[in-house]
Amino acid sequence: RNIFKVKKSNPEKSKKMEKEEKFFRETFMYDKEINVINTATAECSVPSKRRVDLPVTAGEQLDVIDVTEGNAVICRNLEGRFGYVLVEHLNFR
């Protein structure tokens, strides 16, 4: 038995993640280091109205990256996409 299981990263997926991060940094003019400050679960499904909004589905796990002025936070989903999500759509438990 192999005790140490190494998760092999999918090069195609990591390329997509890099592309999403590059797009995020350019669009949001974000030059800080990307750190996960919290995790949250989407309470309901919300389509994106603008390109900067992150569409979420109910029950989806999100990484909270940064807090903005107002009632939105910058989140990242499991696919690596970034965008604004309203705090009222998130559950932080």
Residue 76: inside a domain: yes
Residuewise pLDDT in 10s, the chain (93 residues): 556 655 555 777 788 889 999 999 999 999 999 999 999 999 999 998 898 999 999 999 999 999 988 899 999 999 999 999 999 999 998
Domain total for the chain?
Answer: 1
Domain that holds residue 53: 32-90
At residue 1, the pLDDT reads 54
User: From CA 77, how far away is CA 93, in angstroms rounded?
Assistant: 17
In the 8-state DSSP scheme, what is residue 34? -
Q: How far apart are CA 24 and CA 89, in angstroms?
A: 21
Look at residue 69 and tell me if it is in a domain. Answer: yes
Report pTM. 0.83
Is residue 24, in this structure, part of any structural domain at all?
Answer: no
The reported pLDDT for the residue numbered 21 is 94
